[in-house]
Structure 1
C-alpha cells in the first residue's frame, strides 16, 4: 500500500507511476463504445504536460484552481497536475444552482477556472472574475477526456499564456501540511461554506477507506461516475491509485449499470436512489421471465434470505437447506448479480438512509450493501458497516481514526486527524466544543455493540405546539419506505400535528393502477386521483402503527412534480433543502392545516388526511 509511505498526494501518484509504468492507470470509452486504457507512463506524461500549461498561465504554489465539469479523465489529470504545481483543487459542481456557484466562487477566489466543454456556458459567466480555460486547452495532445464540437478553440484569458510551454516540467515543492483541496458544504440549510484539507489529511482518509473495505487486486476495475466536485469520489480514486486498480470513467451516469457489467469492478459506490433503481431493474428482469423462471427466482431469493439471516446470527442451516441455497445461488442468483459484472465484493452507500426493504432484497441476492456515514467537515468517513461487521439500519462502527462521542442532547461529536480546522473565513469556536470536538449537528446513538444509528439533523428537529420534539429524517425514512413514495418531507414546526409533502414514485403507482385496468402515466394526473390519495393514506396509516402518536402524520399533500435541484429544493447530492421546500410549498402546507384539522382520534389511530393539489 503506497499510501503508507507517501507523504503527499503527489508522492502517491508518482510512486505508483514509477512502480507500474506499463499497468493501466485509467480507461475511457472511445467513440466506438470500446474501453481504451491509458498506462501509468502515459498518464504521468500527460500530468507533466498539463502542469507546464498551468505554469504558462501563471499558476503559482498555493493558488486556487476551480475545476468545473462532470467526472472525467480530464478532470482527474487536471487535479493531479494542479497538485503537482503546489496548487489547491477547488471542485465546482456544474449542476449547482447559479447562486450556489457564485457563492462558491466568492469563497474560493480562484486564480484560474478550468472547465469541461460541457460546462462552457456556466464557466464563461465567471470570466470577469478570473481567467477561464477549457480542459481541452490544458490537456496534452493525447488527451483521453471527452471531445466536443469547438472544444479546441482557445477561450480569452486575462493572464497572458506563453506561446509554447517550458520544455521541462515544473517541480513545486509540496509538503504534507500544504492545502490540497477546497470543498464546500452541501448548502442544505443555506449558503455553502468552504472547507480546506491538506495532503496529510487526504492520505489519512485514503488509508482509512482502504482499511475499512476489501482491497481491490492490482489491475481490477474501479468505477468513477459520481460527481468529482464532491470529495468521496476523488477519495475512491485515490484508493484505486493506491491499490493499483484501473479507474474507468463513466461519462454518462445513466450508463453505470452497463459500464459495470463490462468492467466487472470489485467495488461500487452509489447513493440510495441508485440502489433503489437497480432493485427495480432486477425486479423488471424477473417479471419479464416465464412463469417457471419467476418461480425459480422467488424460491432462490427466499433461500438466499434464509442463508443471509442464518449467517447474520451465526446459526447453521440444516444441510438440506444449505445445499438448496448453494445450488440456488450458483444457478439463479449469480445470474442476477451479473447485472453488475458478477465480480462485486463491496457495495457502499451513503448521503441518506437506504430503505430496509432494499437492503434485505440485495442481501437475499448475495450482495451486502454497506451503509456509511460521513460529513464534509471530516475527510475520514465517520463510520461504516463492513463486510464482516454490519447491521442494517445503522451506519456501522466509527472508523479507528475517529473518536466519537454523543452529547447529552444526542448530537454526534468527533475528533480526529481528518477533521477540518474550521470554515474558511469562519470562527472555529462556533463549531467546536471547548475540548476540541467538532459539533456535527447530526443526532445519533451508539448501541451496546458500537454501531452508530442516525436520527437526523439537530437543526431539523420539529417542535410542535404541544412541546414535542420530532426528528423528521427518521420519519421520512419510515414513510418513504412505501413503494409508491419517492420523496417524503415532514413539516409541522409550531403546529399541533405533523404533515407531509410527498412526491410519487410514478412507475409503481402507474403499475398499481394498471392492475386495476387504469392506464395513466402522467405525474400531475396521478397526484390528483382520489384512489391514489387513498392508496397513500392506507400506506401511511399502516406505517404509523409502528410509530408513537406524536410521530404520526395527520395531513398529507401529494405534489404534482418531483422535487428538483433547479427549484432549489434538493442539493446536488440530492439532500433535502427543507427551508426552500417549505418556502416554495408554503401555500400547500397552510392549506393542509386550514382545511383539514386533524382530530385527536386521527392522530392516535394513525389515520391520515390526504390533500392532492
Structure 2
C-alpha cells in the first residue's frame, strides 16, 4: 500500500529523482540494493546496501555538493567512468534543485566540450580519469566549477574533502521545468540534449507500474543498462517503489554475468539488446544462469527473435516471457509486446508491439507520399502523450521540426497491421532503395546462421545494400551457408566481414550505421 501511495504522489507532483531514495525507504527501508562493483565516490559503503542506507548516502552527497557551491537551477554535467554511483550522484544533484546533465562516459572530449558550451558554463562533476580525457579542453572557460568524486586534482574541488558537510533541505524543481537532461545516442553526429521534467518522468512510469503489478513476489530484479540513460530513471524508480531487491550490474563479460545471476537468481533482467545477444551463449551453460528468470525486458532497440528464443528456452520458470518495449529518449515507452518460449523463434521481429493500456502513449503512422502506409510503403511513426520530452536544450528549432502539435515524429518508418501491431522497418535515414527493411533482413539471416554474432546492412558506394558481418570468435564464414541463408534477398551485395570490435557503437551499444556506411562508401578497388 505504501508503494501505491508513493506512486500516486508521483502522478500528482511528478518524479523527482532526488526524493526517490527517501520515498523508497519510506515504503520499505530494508529493500536490498546489490552492486557487482565498488562505488567510486564512496568505496567504503560496500556492495550491499539497504534502501535506507542508499537514501542516507544520497543525502550526504547532496550536502557536499551544496558545500561545493552548487545551487538550485544550475546545470551540473555528470561525466565520469561507468559506475552505479552515477545514479546516486544524479539523485544528489537533483535533491538540491540543480539540473543534472547525464553524459555517457563513452563520449569523447570534443563532443563533451560542444555539449558543455551549449549548456553555458555548467558545473562539471567528474573523476580524475575523465579529467585526463579532457586535458586539452578549456574547462576554465567552459565550466563554472569542476568537482571530482574522489581523490584530488589541482583546480578542482573534491567531494571527499567535503565529507561531514551539513545536510540541506531538498529543493524541488517546478513540475514542467527541466529536472534531468540526457542525450540521444549520437548515431548521426553530435548528440542532442533531451530535457526531462518531473511531469514527463512521472508519466512514463504509468504503463510500466501496472505491468509490474502483475508480479506478486518480491524477487530480485537485475538491471544492466547505462547508468546515464533516461531508462535508468524509470528502472530504478519502479523497482525500488515496488520493493524489489535490485542487482545493479556494470560488468558485461558473460562469465562475470553468469556468476552474478547464479548467486542472486533474479526473476527479471532488464538489459540492452546487444548485451543480451552477447550473453545468449550462457543459455548452454549447464549451471543454468538464466534458470530463475521469468521476465526478460529490453528497450532501446529491437531485438532479434533468435536471441529471445534462446534466452526463453534457458529459463526454468513456467510462463517465462520476453517483454520488448519500443521507444526512444524523447518519447519514453511507446508500445510493447510479450514473446513466449514456444513461439518467439517464429515471431516477426519487426512487430514491436501495441500501445500499452493504462494511460500510455498513443501512436500513429503518417504517410510520407500521400499513399496509405503499408509494408511496401512505410510511413512515419509518430507518438503523442504527456511523457514526451518538451525540448532539446539550446536547440529548440531542431526539436520543433520533429513536433506537429501533440505528435512527435520518431524518425522511424513502419506501418500498422489490421490487428493494430506496429511494425518498425527502419530508421528513415538508414533506408536503402530496393530494400523493404534492412532490420528484417538482419532478423532472418541471424536466425538462420547462429555463427553470426552481428549483421548490419548498410548502403554501399552505389547505394547497394552491403551486409557487414561479424562471427563468433571472428571465425571465417562458410560461403555456401551464407549463400543459402540470403537466397530470399538477391539484392544483397557480397558480405564484408570485419572483427566485431571494429563496429562503431553508441553508448547504448547501437551500431552507428551511418559511420559504418561511410567506411564502405568507396568501391573495393578504391579502398585498397
User: Structure 2 length normalisation: TM-score?
Assistant: 0.82
Superposed, which structure 2 residues align to 1:22-33 within 5 Å?
22-25=30-33, 27=35
- Structure 1 Cα separation of the partners of residues 167 and 277 of structure 2: 50
- Structure 2 Cα separation of the partners of residues 159 and 134 of structure 1: 5
- 1:13 lines up with 2:21 in the alignment: yes
SS at 2:413 equivalent: strand
Question: Counterpart of 2:439?
Answer: 473
TM-aligned CA deviation for residue 469 of structure 1:
5.6
Point out 4+ residue stretches in structure 1 off by more than 6 angstroms: 158-165, 387-390
Question: Counterpart of 2:169?
Answer: 170
TM-aligned CA deviation for residue 494 of structure 1:
7.7
Superposed, which structure 2 residues align to 1:60-209 within 5 Å?
60-109=71-120, 111-116=122-127, 119-122=130-133, 126=137, 127-128=139-140, 129-130=142-143, 131-136=145-150, 152-153=151-152, 156-157=155-156, 167-209=166-208
TM-aligned CA deviation for residue 169 of structure 1:
1.7
Deviates more, 1:369-378 or 1:186-195: 369-378
- 1:244 lines up with 2:215 in the alignment: no
Post-superposition Cα deviations, 1:422-446, rounded to whole Å, max 9, x if no partner, equal 322231431122x431111101222
- Structure 2 Cα separation of the partners of residues 163 and 38 of structure 1: 22
Question: Counterpart of 2:259?
Answer: 258
Alignment counterpart, residue 495 of structure 1, candidates 442, 455, 462: 462
Question: Counterpart of 2:273?
Answer: 272
- Structure 2 Cα separation of the partners of residues 118 and 217 of structure 1: 43
- Structure 1 Cα separation of the partners of residues 239 and 164 of structure 2: 31
Question: Counterpart of 1:324?
Answer: none
Q: Which runs of 5+ in 1 are unaligned?
A: 137-151, 287-334, 510-525, 527-531, 596-612
Contact in 2 for aligned 1:51/1:170 (Cα 8 Å)? no
- 1:432 lines up with 2:389 in the alignment: no
Question: Counterpart of 2:335?
Answer: 383
- Structure 2 Cα separation of the partners of residues 213 and 22 of structure 1: 20
Question: Counterpart of 2:376?
Answer: none
CA gap 1:497/1:262 in 2 versus in 1, 3 angstroms: same
Alignment counterpart, residue 500 of structure 2, candidates 562, 570, 584: 562
CA gap 1:214/1:459 in 2 versus in 1, 3 angstroms: same
Question: Counterpart of 2:324?
Answer: 371
- 1:417 lines up with 2:386 in the alignment: yes
Paired residue total = 488
Question: Counterpart of 2:429?
Answer: 459
TM-aligned CA deviation for residue 405 of structure 1:
0.5
Contact in 2 for aligned 1:214/1:345 (Cα 8 Å)? no
Alignment counterpart, residue 359 of structure 1, candidates 288, 308, 327: 308
- Structure 1 Cα separation of the partners of residues 27 and 435 of structure 2: 57
CA gap 1:280/1:53 in 2 versus in 1, 3 angstroms: same
Question: Counterpart of 2:420?
Answer: 450
CA gap 1:111/1:491 in 2 versus in 1, 3 angstroms: closer
Contact in 2 for aligned 1:28/1:35 (Cα 8 Å)? no
SS at 2:494 equivalent: strand
Contact in 2 for aligned 1:503/1:562 (Cα 8 Å)? yes
Q: Which runs of 5+ in 2 are unaligned?
A: 369-378
TM-aligned CA deviation for residue 193 of structure 1:
0.8
- 1:575 lines up with 2:510 in the alignment: yes
- Structure 1 Cα separation of the partners of residues 162 and 466 of structure 2: 63
TM-aligned CA deviation for residue 82 of structure 1:
1.0
TM-aligned CA deviation for residue 80 of structure 1:
1.3
Contact in 1 for aligned 2:461/2:521 (Cα 8 Å)? no
- Structure 2 Cα separation of the partners of residues 125 and 48 of structure 1: 34
CA gap 1:181/1:541 in 2 versus in 1, 3 angstroms: same
Structure with greater Cα Rg: 1
- Structure 1 Cα separation of the partners of residues 215 and 380 of structure 2: 35
Question: Counterpart of 1:312?
Answer: none
TM-aligned CA deviation for residue 36 of structure 1:
4.3
TM-aligned CA deviation for residue 195 of structure 1:
0.8
CA gap 1:17/1:175 in 2 versus in 1, 3 angstroms: farther
Deviates more, 1:99-108 or 1:444-453: 99-108
- Structure 1 Cα separation of the partners of residues 33 and 501 of structure 2: 38
Post-superposition Cα deviations, 1:447-497, rounded to whole Å, max 9, x if no partner, equal 23322221011111123xxxx464433323333442233333334468375
Alignment counterpart, residue 591 of structure 1, candidates 492, 505, 524: 524
Question: Counterpart of 1:45?
Answer: 56
Contact in 1 for aligned 2:147/2:157 (Cα 8 Å)? no
TM-aligned CA deviation for residue 167 of structure 1:
2.9
CA gap 1:278/1:173 in 2 versus in 1, 3 angstroms: closer
TM-aligned CA deviation for residue 96 of structure 1:
2.3
TM-aligned CA deviation for residue 117 of structure 1:
5.4
Question: Counterpart of 1:546?
Answer: 488
Question: Counterpart of 1:282?
Answer: 283
CA gap 1:273/1:23 in 2 versus in 1, 3 angstroms: closer
TM-aligned CA deviation for residue 584 of structure 1:
2.8
Question: Counterpart of 2:355?
Answer: 398
- Structure 1 Cα separation of the partners of residues 84 and 391 of structure 2: 31
- Structure 1 Cα separation of the partners of residues 431 and 364 of structure 2: 20
- Structure 1 Cα separation of the partners of residues 502 and 108 of structure 2: 11
Contact in 2 for aligned 1:212/1:386 (Cα 8 Å)? no
Deviates more, 1:197-206 or 1:490-499: 490-499
- Structure 2 Cα separation of the partners of residues 539 and 259 of structure 1: 36
TM-aligned CA deviation for residue 30 of structure 1:
6.8
Superposed CA RMSD: 3.4
